[in-house]
Amino acid sequence: MRLSKRMEKMQDRELLRLMELAEAPDMISFSGGFPSPQTYPIAEIKEALTEVLDLHGYEALSYSSTSGYLPLREKIAKRMNKKYSMQLSAESVIITSGSQQGLDMCGMLFIDKGDIVLCETPSYVGALNAFKAYGADFIEVPTDNEGIIPSELEKILSEYGERIKMAYVIPDFQNPTCRCWTAERRRAFMNIMKDYDIAIIEDSAYEEIAYEEMDRPSLISLDDKGQVINCGSFSKIFCPGFRVAWICSSESMIEKFLLLKPNIDLSSSSINQRMIDVYMDKFDLDEHIGKIIELYKSRRDLAVSTMKRCFPPNVTYEIPKGGIFVWISLPQGYNARELLQLALQKKVSFVPGGSFYTTSGKENEIRLNYSNMCEEKIVKGIEILGGLLRDFLK
Ligand SMILES: Cc1ncc(COP(=O)(O)O)c(C=O)c1O
């Protein structure tokens, strides 16, 4: 069969293979970016679902409106307004089937073949692959622990100008590094970007998984030009299986997404949206998020203290202040893909950092996920990795 040209760019099966391997029952997997199923509130979900079916069964099992279930959109707008002192209305929100769909729609909306997308270095491979399918080229903007470096951003913008259509950023507890941009960098970024006709995609998938208080204004709350498209999700703060997420932006931008959405899936799942809406009426989502944070924080502490005990001193990492990953650097010249082969033989998996770069191809880093594994396996897996690292780095 003659496949589309875009499939030429979709040949990289490495991550898929790794995720399949990671699912083997005897594997200690630090690979996925998954929430812990232990946090899923099954009893409460049952109660909410029963209420939805009893009271609105026919509507819940029908198609939803394209924009999504109005009471849920109102709740999302209200949460954003409360957190960031904004004044969004439900018309500024569209429900998507996972924020992955939101990201894909951003690609569809903005990217023509050869357009440039700016991204952090490194960045979330799922978004990069979605944009790649529309023919995007990428420029990685040099990024440090505080976020994108403003002077580097300015250089790139002045050099590539018109070809840049979109900037894709994850300011809160980024995947894969778990970096969190400082408030100063957020302001500097928006200040520079406001002079350019470039859409800013702010991916907030991990925004609520914060272990400590920090001043973190969302980019959309700093936007007075209607430039920011904020993608949020219930996946990490509730359950990914419902595939319910949202895009917030100016009303005129949301209208553009409304033109695309029916062509993709007609509407997001009606019953899942209503279930989450009723859950939020009957139970306290913030309290639930608090429990998730408590669990992940204790797993982070355990992962970090085990790494301190078992990893050679020339292996470095920042302690994450939120999110679900630790980003680990081996000394220059060592290749994490080679280490992975050794780890897989010992039934331990992780994602080599090289998978998260579009152009710069650094190979000495590791993304290690700690949210989705019991304490015993975290310790055992890191002890095994520590033993391997001591030999590998000799
Ligand atoms: C940064 C980032 N954005 C978006 C997504 C997609 O999330 P969703 O489950 O809402 O589609 C993920 C998933 O892990 C992610 O890490």
Does residue 46 lie within any of the structural domains?
A: no
Does residue 187 lie within any of the structural domains?
A: yes
Per the listing, tokens 């946090």 go with 39
DSSP H or E segment with residue 367: strand 365-369
- The predicted model scores a pTM of 0.96
Any idea what DSSP says for residue 358? S
Q: Which ranges of the chain does DSSP label H, i.e. alpha helix?
A: 14-22, 42-60, 70-84, 99-110, 125-132, 150-160, 183-193, 251-265, 270-282, 285-310, 336-345, 375-392
241 and 312 share one domain: no
Strand ranges across the sheet with 199-203: 93-96, 245-248, 228-233, 199-203, 164-169, 116-120, 137-141
Q: Is 135 left (phi over 0), alpha (psi -120 to 50) or beta?
A: left
Does residue 115 lie within any of the structural domains?
A: yes
228 and 331 share one domain: no
Using CA atoms, how far apart are residues 344 and 380, in angstroms rounded to an integer? 14
pLDDT at 99: 97
Residues of the chain with pLDDT below 70 are: 11
Domain count, the chain: 2
Q: What is the CA radius of gyration of the chain?
A: 21
Does residue 226 lie within any of the structural domains?
A: yes
139 and 241 share one domain: yes
CB 71 within 8 A of CB 56: no
Using CA atoms, how far apart are residues 74 and 302, in angstroms rounded to an integer? 39
Q: How far is the CA of 305 from the centre of ligand 1 (A)?
A: 27
Domain range for 367: 5-41+287-392
Pocket test for ligand 1, best of 96, 101, 124 (most atoms within 8 A of CB): 124
156 and 15 share one domain: no
CA dist list (Å): 373 to 38, 221, 303, 304, 383: 10, 35, 11, 14, 15
Using CA atoms, how far apart are residues 207 and 353, in angstroms rounded to an integer? 22
Closest ligand 1 atom number to CA of residue 206: 1
Q: Is the dihedral angle over the CA atoms 191, 194, 198, 201 positive or is it negative?
A: positive
Does residue 234 lie within any of the structural domains?
A: yes
Q: Is 161 left (phi over 0), alpha (psi -120 to 50) or beta?
A: left
221 and 88 share one domain: yes
137 and 269 share one domain: yes
272 and 310 share one domain: no
Q: Which two tokens stand for residue 295?
A: 């669990």
Q: Which two tokens stand for residue 101?
A: 């769909």
Which of 254, 277, 300 is the endpoint of a domain? 277
Show the ligand 1 pocket: residues with CB < 6 angstroms.
33, 98-100, 124, 126, 170, 175, 203, 205, 233, 235, 240, 245
Q: How far is the CA of 176 from the centre of ligand 1 (A)?
A: 11
CA dist list (Å): 322 to 175, 293, 295, 326: 11, 8, 12, 10
Nearest to 287 by CA among 41, 104, 9: 41
234 and 97 share one domain: yes
37 and 140 share one domain: no
pLDDT at 11: 66
Does residue 362 lie within any of the structural domains?
A: yes
Closest ligand 1 atom number to CA of residue 233: 10
The CATH number of whichever domain residue 300 belongs to comes to 3.90.1150.10
CA dist list (Å): 319 to 64, 130, 149, 174, 366: 42, 29, 21, 13, 14
165 and 260 share one domain: yes
Does residue 352 lie within any of the structural domains?
A: yes
CA dist list (Å): 198 to 143, 167, 297: 19, 7, 36
221 and 295 share one domain: no
Which of 277, 301, 328 is the endpoint of a domain? 277
Does residue 205 lie within any of the structural domains?
A: yes
CB 147 within 8 A of CB 182: yes
DSSP SS3 for 224: coil
Q: How far is the CA of 194 from the centre of ligand 1 (A)?
A: 26
71 and 185 share one domain: yes
pLDDT in tens, 18-44: 777 777 888 999 998 899 999 999 999
Which of 224, 259, 277 is the endpoint of a domain? 277
CB 189 within 8 A of CB 219: yes
Pocket test for ligand 1, best of 15, 99, 202 (most atoms within 8 A of CB): 99
Residues pairing with 366 in the sheet: 328, 352
The CATH number of whichever domain residue 163 belongs to comes to 3.40.640.10
Residue 56, classified by CB atoms within 10 Å of its CB into exposed (0-12), middle (13-18) or buried (19+), is middle
